[in-house]
Amino acid sequence: MSQWFVQQDDESEIGPLRPSELLDLVRQGVVTPQTLCRKANSPWCHAQDVGGLFRAADSQVAGYRCPHCQKLVSQPPTYCRGCSKYIDEAIEVMRDANSSKPQGRTQASAPSKNRLTSWSHWVAKFKSQRSKGNSD
């Protein structure tokens, strides 16, 4: 799975982030087109130069499909009723915010509670530092 890093205004970085976590930061307005980010060990670039990042952030999850049998399942982690397999990663069925047509793509399941708490902490810290920078 690819890992992303985001540079804060004070030049410290947040990461590694899952692609879904990077998208969450875009949706929350923490990552803007001018925010510096990088994938794994790649050079830093502006978020606006990451192909499809802002378009993907405009998409919404419409449902999930089992990666084994393609049946609709509830949000992972779950068991598939179609093939009786445990699912910790599913195919997200995405709906573009500007369209009613769903599109499927593979994504990791939702972060665990501990990871979500840590993630929420980083988002709050990042927003706080950004607002301090804007008030100067």
pLDDT at 128: 65
Residues of the chain with pLDDT under 70: 1, 60-62, 94-136
pLDDT at 34: 94
Structure tokens at 110: 């939702």
Q: What percent of the chain has pLDDT over 70?
A: 65
pLDDT at 120: 59
Residue from 122, 89, 119 nearest 105 by CA: 89
Cβ-based neighbour number of residue 82 at 10 Å: 14
pLDDT at 112: 41
* Domain boundaries along the sequence of the chain: 4-110+120-135
Q: Is 40 left (phi over 0), alpha (psi -120 to 50) or beta?
A: left
pLDDT tens across 23-39, in order?
Answer: 889 988 899 999 999 99
